[in-house]
Amino acid sequence: MIKDLENNGLSIIFSYVVNFDEEALRSIEEDYFKLKTNEKHLRLIRSISQIICEFLNIPELSMKGTSSRALREWQLKNGIPVAEIPKMPTGRALNAVKEIFNIGKRIVKKMVSESKERSDLIIDIAFEKAFKYFLEYYSQNRF
């Protein structure tokens, strides 16, 4: 299957589809329903999830669950609520968000069912694209 994705006039063609473990996808979806945050952050999670889903054949609900799990893991690791990120100095806030994206990327990579090397490259591209979107959003909205 070929996915043809267009971005700012550049066409990227993937002739490889990432296959995910169905049980892992169902499990991660539950995390999204446990997430407690404000509507602005939920819209951002939805937007980032949609961007990643454009590149990966992962269900949007699974990607939202991945985002939720990544946020929770970051909070536990750092002992800081995610809601505090917007109050941080810009550099520190962006580093925190990049850490959250990296956690999400690691979680997604663990759900791949086969051909991990090729899948990892596509997942890396999807997460970098989503982070670029976040940077654009951040520069306009500052959370």
Q: pLDDT digits over 38-64, tens only?
A: 777 787 788 888 888 887 888 989 998
107, containing H or E segment: helix 90-110
Residue 17 phi/psi, 5-degree rounding, is -110, 135
pLDDT of residue 101: 93
What pairs with residue 11 in β-bridges? 6
Distance CA 105, CA 55 (A): 13
Q: What pLDDT digit, counting tens, does each position of 89-117 carry?
A: 989 999 999 999 999 999 999 999 877 78
Contact 32, 68 (CB under 8 A): yes
Distance CA 89, CA 66 (A): 26
What pairs with residue 112 in β-bridges? 20
Q: Residue 102 is encoded by which pair of tokens? A: 């990296």
The answer for residues whose C-beta is within 8 angstroms of residue 99's C-beta and 6 or more apart is 74
- Angle among Cα 50, 56, 132 to the nearest 5 degrees reads 55
| Stretch 105-131: mean pLDDT | 88
pLDDT of residue 77: 95
